Structure 1
Amino acid sequence: MSITVRRATPHDAAAYARFMNDPEVFGGLMQMPFTNEEIWRARLTDMTDPSKGDLHLCAELDGQVVASAGLHFAGPAQRRRHVMHIGICVATEAQGRGVGSALMAAMCDYADRWVGALRIELCVYTDNAAAIALYRKFGFEIEGTHRGYAMRDGRYVDAHAMARLHPNPPRIEPAAP
């Protein structure tokens, strides 16, 4: 088994449409059902525009794209420039095989060592135990619960707000005497 993490491109649209249309997958996300390759090609073209500054990665398992992840700046508010949001999605057949961990490691490394983010935030449905365990493995903590956070399959469901603070924030070393 070989896991490769790389930047996503519009050429990944067919794979995204495949795993994002799986009810077991989109039920854990804020995605809507009935997407297709054209929709994902347009989204990926927009999302991977170099001027955006966000990071969009995908993971291949034995050469097949089976997961995606994004690291996004919190928005234009100057006082939240130290914050990023993370999202991740793993195809059903790749869950429990280290793919999510590979993507999370890459995202946290990028945020910590290259962007200087102090805080990474996410929301996860309270019944998604596997995702919560993955996030905890990378230092995320539950900070609160949003009641009735989103509509899923005809019902309102709750979500946890989770965050991770940089484990070793960068600093400027004192000048040599």
Structure 2
Amino acid sequence: MSDQTKYVVNNVIRNAQPEDAARIVSFYNIVGGETDYLSFGRDEYPQSVDEVAQSIEYMKGSVGNCMLLMLEGEEIVGIGTIDSSTKHRFLHVGTLGIVISQSRAGKGLGRVLMNALIEWSKNNGQTEKITLVTRADNERAIALYEKLGFEREGVFCKDTYDGEQYYDSLSMALFL
């Protein structure tokens, strides 16, 4: 997806801009407390506003990296990313990340944002494989990923720990 804006019902999908950084950090800090499936909890997002702004600025000059925001009015309701390595041998692989606000979950927004990320990857001239890692018990997300063509590649045993229990993670991939 280029700098064009995509409209989805009452939502807009567009590229993140450096001036969105504070709202992005705030969104991540909120959604981190809405689900146990993320790698961080409420108010634990590991990047500062300045770091996010710098990352977005870097993406503008990068072929294999993007951050798409799904907006409802001015409110961020979802964020999708593709991150590619700078190492020559791994340039063809983009790692996907996606988060939808729990208040909007179950309405098809995740599928729309995933399709936008897949389309962006197909058109960037670099990405040939999209990978993702999700908790192995995240059945709803896994079902969506499989419907979109992702295949299971492997399991990371006891990959995450919530302070009480270990969880396996599942690696999945889509070849473009």
State the TM-score, normalized to the length of structure 1: 0.80
| 2:84 matches 1:73 | yes
Residue matched to 2:30: 21
1:56 is matched with 67
- The worse-fitting range, judged by mean Cα deviation, of 41-50 and 9-18 is 9-18
Question: Given that residues 61 and 99 in structure 1 are in contact (C-alpha distance below 8 angstroms), is that contact kept between their aligned partners in structure 2?
Answer: no
Counterpart AA for 1:9: Q
Contact residue 126 and residue 159 of structure 1 kept, 8 A: yes
How many matched pairs? 162
Aligned to 1:149: 159
In the TM superposition, what whole-angstrom CA distance separates every residue of 1:49-84 from its partner, at most 9, and x where no partner exists?
A: 1245410111013442111111011341x2222111
Unaligned ranges ≥5, structure 2: 1-8
Percent of aligned positions that are identical: 24
Match of 1:120 in 2: 130
Q: Residue 99 of structure 2: SS of its match in structure 1?
A: strand
- 1:46 equivalent to 2:57? Answer no
For 1:111 and 1:41, the matched residues in 2 are separated by 26
Q: Which has the larger radius of gyration?
A: 1
CA distance in 1, matches of 2:28, 2:86: 28
Q: Is the 8 A contact 1:21 1:35 kept in 2?
A: no
2:171 corresponds to which residue? 161
| Root-mean-square deviation (Å) | 2.2
Please give the secondary structure, in 1, of the residue aligned with 2:137: coil
Matched with 1:169 is none
CA distance in 1: counterparts of 2:120 and 2:164, whole angstroms: 37
Deviation at 1:127, TM superposition (A): 1.3
Residues 23, 76 of structure 2: 8 Å contact kept? no
| Runs (4+) off by over 4 Å | none
Unaligned runs of 5+ in 1: 167-177
CA displacement at 1:33 relative to structure 2: 3.3
